[in-house]
Amino acid sequence: MQTRELLREVSWERHPGIELNPDPGMDILYLNGRAILTAEEMNQVVSLPEDTILLKGDDLIALHSRHTDAYSMKEGVLHFNRESVDRFSVREMDCAMVSRPWDLIHLNSGVLQNDAALLPSEIHPTADVSIAAVLEARDAIRIDAGARIDAGAVLDASHGNIVIGNDARIMANAVIIGPACIGPGSVIKAGAKIYEGTTIGPMCKAGGEIEESIMQGYSNKQHDGFLGHSYLGEWVNLGADTNTSDLKNNYSPVRMATEGVEENTGLRFLGLVAADHVKTGINTMFNTGTCIGVGANVFGGGYPPKFIPAFSWGGSDGFQEYDLERFLQTASVVMKRRGKELTDVEAGLLTSVFHATSESRKAAIHQKMETT
């Protein structure tokens, strides 16, 4: 596996035994991490003959070679040497590609269906499914070991598969409409409404109303409030009654700023993209197409800006820089509550991100101060 130098130590720590950043000249199959592949497309990749490349237009999907002059690595990204193309057998593949954060949201329903098709639809003998729970289209529902489905819960897979992971709990009167996936150990709170196209990662707590959204592991949105067409990283916590708008009043395409530069997404529905360790206070409101960087803490009345830099502290009235040591202390406490430790390696990665985003954060804070 090839990673950026910034991520190498964390990757080693999280995935011991995996060879990272292999030496040039080895017989290596590279796969572009932005490619979203079906099972059939993945089979094509793993069976690529040597000295073969897969392209989608100008995007490199995969490369199988041992020739070091055919490619170069820069910051963990593979760059194909076009001058070497005559040496290769070139094949085309029209697969889905992720170029922007919102692509993950847009593609998620299809990915859920493709992945669910690879799993047998079954209820594990150790799963505790109440006789008062409703399982619509049972043959499209998978419930893994130790999962619990309480009385009054509704799992409706009539329009897409539903997968419930190991030891997950679906509390009373919660409704899940497929395609959807609830990760291992996660809890869907009583009365929650989880609509199609939603992925809840491992060890999350989810409640209120969630539609076509992705929550990565160990994140919480367990109170009332709407999360629509949004993406949450790991260790995110949305305070009670946090709401996202995912549709503009004039129904025009949503614009989103990443690194402060706004662009037209071409999507009519797009809510919030929040990076790891983001926290929001009670009753926080987000406009369509809001992007929040790592470690930001957002609170207060009114709508905050649509672009909130990493490690910012504040809301609609303005931001200041989040003190790094205070942030790391809070992150450590949060992780310990879930039986995890903020290791020196992870703290080092977050510190690196803090310093790397310093200039954009100061510029955004200064601009906000000038306009208030």
Kindly state whether residues 302 and 343 are assigned to the same domain: yes
pLDDT bucket at 87, cuts 50 / 70 / 90: confident
Kindly state whether residues 297 and 316 are assigned to the same domain: yes
Among 152, 187, 222, the domain boundary falls at 222
Q: Are 138 and 155 in contact (CB under 8 A)?
A: no
- Strands 71-74 and 77-80 come out as antiparallel
pLDDT at residue number 371? 46
Kindly state whether residues 213 and 254 are assigned to the same domain: no
pLDDT at residue number 363? 81
Kindly state whether residues 192 and 110 are assigned to the same domain: yes
In a domain, 169, yes or no: yes
Q: Are 196 and 181 in contact (CB under 8 A)?
A: no
In a domain, 38, yes or no: yes
CA angle, 243 then 245 then 249, to 5°: 145
Kindly state whether residues 12 and 80 are assigned to the same domain: yes
pLDDT at residue 359 greater than cutoff 60: yes
pLDDT bucket at 314, cuts 50 / 70 / 90: very high
pTM (two decimals): 0.92
Q: Are 80 and 70 in contact (CB under 8 A)?
A: yes
In a domain, 217, yes or no: yes
Across the range 201-226, mean pLDDT stands at: 97
**Helix, strand, coil % (nearest 5) of the chain?**
25, 30, 45
Hey, what amino acid is at 365?
A: I
In a domain, 329, yes or no: yes
Q: Which secondary structure element, helix H or strand E, spans residue 175, and what is its range?
A: strand 175-177
Kindly state whether residues 39 and 54 are assigned to the same domain: yes
pLDDT at residue number 265? 96
**The domain containing residue 148 runs over which residues?**
99-222
Kindly state whether residues 59 and 173 are assigned to the same domain: no
Among 47, 68, 97, the domain boundary falls at 97
Residue 222 CA to residue 256 CA, distance in Å, equals 26
Task: Give the residue with greater pLDDT, 263 vs 65.
Answer: 263
Q: How many CB atoms lie within 10 A of CB 158?
A: 9
Among 97, 119, 145, the domain boundary falls at 97
| Number of independent structural domains in the chain | 3
Kindly state whether residues 127 and 208 are assigned to the same domain: yes
Across the range 199-209, mean pLDDT stands at: 98
Q: Are 246 and 230 in contact (CB under 8 A)?
A: yes
pLDDT bucket at 66, cuts 50 / 70 / 90: confident
| SS3 track for 52-117 | EEEEECCEEEEEEECCHHHEEEECCEEEECHHHHHHCEEEECCCEECCCHHHHHHHHHHHHHHHHC
Kindly state whether residues 283 and 173 are assigned to the same domain: no
In a domain, 232, yes or no: no
Q: What is the CATH number of the domain that holds 114?
A: 2.160.10.10
Residue 159's alpha-carbon distances to 66, 227, 261, in angstroms, are: 45, 21, 37
Kindly state whether residues 134 and 41 are assigned to the same domain: no
Instruction: Dump pLDDT digits (tens) for 233-284.
Output: 999 999 999 999 999 999 999 999 887 788 999 999 999 999 999 999 999 9
Kindly state whether residues 209 and 269 are assigned to the same domain: no
